[in-house]
């Protein structure tokens, strides 16, 4: 197994699993749920786009985040009646849970051209920002985001972005969590047709899939996407409800200590099951349908061992 890059942002042609997003109705309840499990969520932030007059226009969504030493998790909620806000509304009405997976690259414009050239219908590049507080005072977190048109990736809002402000996004004060979470590692998607999904993800990620006993896997320069059938999901995460297909069913988070994590899960009255080298925990209702798979080392994940 090749070495995985241990760096926050990609260089040159690299692509990382950057973050995942829960679509939720109540940001306060989502933040409280994250705290119960031992995460340290950031304050609420409302996302905006620059307008031609030099001002700012709400995108229609806001977020809270759990920032890790590698990657992050966010909970997104509606803030305004915009196309993006209405898209989030429709997804939450379908089912609350993880509807977003974002992959980071060094050049969003190049990724935009590549996706268009490979047959995807793409939206215009978007320069997005959100206000953040820092120890030195108010600042902004800025991104360039590549999105495909609805339906091109039916798994959800599957997007590519380039970070423009690493310093304000990954502030050291938000990186150390009581439950000792340190990194987002992998994403698992359940689908009715693994082969078809693998073909699309191969074009989207510009990476070939590998076959394993669980389905198809995409090993990125940092992170992994595993595609599985529903029967396989039931083996990996028994009892997880499948509200629709395709379904972003779980994501893996690396922690420094499963024992410390287990203490926080018990204290937060989470529903979880411990195995030899992992813990699978159902999301609290406030974060939707799905599960976390916690490991101390990403190599403990079943598809990584293969």
Question: Which CATH fold topology does 16-174 show?
Answer: 2,3-Dihydroxybiphenyl 1,2-Dioxygenase; domain 1 (3.10.180)
CATH superfamily, with its number, for domain 181-305: 2,3-Dihydroxybiphenyl 1,2-Dioxygenase, domain 1 (3.10.180.10)
Delimiting residues of CATH 3.10.180.10 domain(s) in the chain: 16-174, 181-305
Q: Any idea what the Cα angle at residue 76 is, between residues 107 and 47, rounded to 5°?
A: 60
Which residue pairs from 233-242 have beta carbons closer than 8 angstroms and sit at least 24 positions apart in sequence?
233/188, 233/190, 236/188, 236/280, 236/293, 236/302, 237/280, 237/291, 237/293, 239/282, 240/282, 240/289, 240/290, 240/291, 241/289, 242/190
Which tokens is 139 given? 């600042």
Return d(Cα 179, Cα 286) in angstroms, integer: 19
Residue showing tokens 């809270």: 64
**In this predicted structure, what is the pLDDT of residue 176?**
97
pLDDT of residue 50: 65
Mean pLDDT computed over 136-155: 94
2 pLDDT exceeds 50? no
Of the candidates 76, 106, 292, 38, the residue with the CA atom closest to the CA atom of residue 186: 292
Cis amide linkage into residue 246, ω under 30° from 0 = yes
Report how far residue 296's alpha carbon sits from residue 97's, in angstroms, rounded to the nearest whole number. 24
Encoded tokens for 37: 């499990």
Tens-digit pLDDT profile for residues 71-122: 999 999 999 999 889 999 999 999 999 999 999 999 999 999 999 999 999 9
- Could you report how far apart the first and last alpha carbons of the chain are, in Å? 9
- Interatomic CA distance for residues 216 and 193, integer angstroms: 11
Q: How many CA atoms lie within 13 A of 4 on its CB side?
A: 20
Give the number of C-alpha atoms closer than 13 A to the C-alpha of residue 107, restricted to the C-beta side: 10
Question: ∠ CA(115), CA(120), CA(124), 5° rounding?
Answer: 70
Q: What is the pLDDT of residues 200-212, one digit of tens each?
A: 999 999 999 999 9
């Amino acid at each position: 197994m090749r070495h995985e890059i241990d760096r926050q942002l990609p260089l040159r042609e690299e692509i990382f699993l950057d973050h995942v997003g829960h679509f939720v109705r109540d940001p306060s309840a989502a933040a409280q749920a994250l705290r119960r499990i031992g995460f340290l969520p950031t304050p609420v932030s409302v996302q905006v786009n620059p307008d031609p007059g030099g001002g700012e226009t709400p995108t229609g969504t806001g977020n809270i985040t759990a920032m890790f030493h590698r990657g992050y998790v966010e909970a997104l909620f509606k803030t305004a009646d915009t196309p993006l806000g209405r898209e989030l509304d429709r997804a939450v009405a379908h089912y609350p849970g993880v509807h977003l997976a974002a992959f980071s690259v060094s050049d969003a414009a190049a990724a935009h051209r590549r996706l268009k050239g490979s047959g995807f219908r793409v939206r215009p590049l978007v320069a997005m920002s959100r206000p953040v507080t820092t120890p030195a005072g108010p600042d902004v977190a800025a991104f360039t985001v590549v999105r495909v048109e609805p339906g091109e990736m039916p798994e959800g809002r599957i997007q590519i972005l380039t970070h423009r402000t690493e310093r304000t996004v990954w502030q050291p004060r938000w990186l150390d969590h009581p439950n000792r979470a340190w990194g987002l590692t992998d994403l698992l998607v359940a689908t009715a047709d693994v082969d078809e999904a693998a073909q699309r993800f191969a074009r989207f990620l510009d990476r070939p899939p590998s076959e394993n006993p669980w389905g198809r896997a995409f090993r990125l320069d940092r992170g992994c996407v595993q595609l599985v059938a529903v029967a396989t999901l039931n083996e990996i995460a028994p009892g997880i409800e499948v509200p629709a297909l395709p379904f972003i069913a779980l994501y893996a988070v690396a922690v420094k200590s499963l024992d410390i994590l287990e203490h926080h899960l018990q204290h937060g009255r989470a529903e979880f099951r411990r195995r030899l080298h992992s813990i699978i925990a159902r999301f609290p209702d406030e974060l939707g349908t799905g599960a976390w798979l916690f490991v101390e080392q990403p190599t403990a994940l079943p598809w990584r061992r293969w």
